[in-house]
């Protein structure tokens, strides 16, 4: 796990340095947008299609979904309690709820589990995110962002779900898997080649998204709540829930590590769109990502 963490940290640091140094005069936000768009629309769907087409899907898939959903809801409840301690304004509360409940299950969770457990880890990460976290984000998460935001922007949850290419890839892969369609070697090899770009591009783009210019006085209480919920409280809760539901082995350890991931990067988009405190959210992503490089090896050792 230490080697995996160091490799991840190196790629994240490379993205952070690129943001600072701007080689070639390229705007770091433009670079990040180009990379994440290519991953979102092409490379990640290819990886998902390959993994879920050939992965064993069954009761553990339902257990993973229930564990992930339970962890998100628990994160919302715990963060809401923390918001009372902070006496936070509504835009701050909305940003805290998103940052405290939804983990970076794909952009960081997928690289971690893939490095630790191979294709079995990839299957856990993808199912944890796409079978629970993402649908909850695009329904309940959008509802919360609208409720606590300062804008009248409207978004229909069904429309949001239908515009997610990775979900479409997952649906196709599950259909092929359930129908027993044999995975053609040539097709799988092509999907594997495209999917191989996901992990390094995700980690590099994560580094590009980290910002220190959004930190300001008075943020320490909300940031402490988010970090405590995401990195300390949710992993044991997810582990206990997973065991209660019957998860074991890689599925259980993978679900626990997914719950221990830092705040998701995608939440900054919802904060910008619905008028939440984007500066606080960006600070939460930066802080929890830095701390996760220290806490993830601890949770790996405890659950292992």
Mean model confidence pLDDT for the chain: 89
Give the count of alpha carbons within 13 A of 259, CB side only.
34
Element (H, E) at 197: none
Percent above pLDDT 70 for the chain: 94
In this structure, of 103-112, 115-124, 142-151, the range with the lowest mean pLDDT score is 142-151
CA–CA dist 193, 275 (Å, integer): 39
pLDDT computed for residue 169 by the predictor: 92
pLDDT band, very low/low/confident/very high, at 152 (cuts 50, 70, 90): low
Number of domains in the chain: 1
**Least trusted range by pLDDT, from 71-75, 188-192, 271-275:** 271-275
Which residue in 98, 105, 106, 77 sits closest to 143, CA to CA?
98
| Residue linked to tokens 């006085």 | 217
Range(s) of the domain holding residue 226? 2-208+217-303
The residue written with tokens 């628990």 in the block is 74
**pTM as predicted:** 0.87
CA distance 261 to 155: 27
Give the Cα separation of 165 and 161 in Å (integer). Answer: 9
pLDDT tens per residue, range 212-268: 766 776 788 899 999 999 999 999 999 999 999 999 999 999 999 999 999 998 888
CB atoms within 10 A of CB 64: 27
**pLDDT category, 104, cuts 50, 70, 90?**
very high
Looking up residue 39, the CATH number of its domain turns out to be 1.20.1530
| The most confident of 17-31, 97-111, 261-275, by mean pLDDT | 97-111
pLDDT for res 208:
85
CA separation for the pair 15, 130 (Å, rounded): 26
């Amino acid at each position: 796990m230490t080697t995996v963490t160091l490799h991840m940290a190196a790629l994240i640091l490379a993205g952070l340095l690129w943001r600072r140094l701007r080689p070639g005069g390229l705007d770091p936000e433009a670079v990040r947008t180009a990379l994440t768009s290519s991953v979102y629309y092409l490379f990640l769907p290819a990886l998902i299609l390959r993994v879920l087409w050939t992965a064993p899907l069954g009761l553990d898939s339902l257990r993973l979904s229930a564990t992930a959903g339970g962890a998100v809801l628990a994160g919302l409840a715990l963060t809401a309690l923390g918001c009372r301690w902070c006496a936070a304004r509504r835009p701050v509360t909305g940003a805290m709820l998103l940052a405290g409940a939804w983990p970076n299950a794909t952009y960081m969770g997928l690289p971690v589990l893939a490095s630790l457990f191979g294709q079995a880890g990839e299957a856990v990460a993808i199912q944890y995110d796409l079978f629970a976290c993402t649908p909850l984000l695009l329904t309940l998460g959008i509802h919360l962002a609208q409720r606590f935001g300062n804008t009248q922007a409207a978004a229909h949850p069904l429309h949001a779900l239908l515009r997610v290419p990775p979900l479409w890839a997952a649906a196709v892969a599950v259909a092929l898997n359930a129908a027993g369609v044999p995975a053609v070697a040539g097709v799988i090899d092509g999907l594997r080649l495209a999917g191989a770009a996901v992990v390094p591009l995700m980690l590099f783009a994560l580094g590009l998204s980290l910002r220190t210019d959004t930190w300001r006085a008075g943020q320490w209480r909300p940031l402490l709540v988010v970090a405590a919920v995401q990195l300390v409280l949710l992993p044991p809760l997810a582990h206990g829930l997973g065991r209660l539901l019957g998860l074991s082995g890689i599925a259980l350890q993978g679900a626990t590590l997914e719950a221990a991931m830092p705040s998701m990067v995608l939440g900054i988009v919802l904060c910008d769109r619905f008028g939440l405190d984007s500066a606080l959210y960006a600070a939460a992503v930066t802080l929890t990502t830095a701390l996760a490089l220290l806490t993830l090896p601890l949770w790996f050792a405890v659950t292992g």
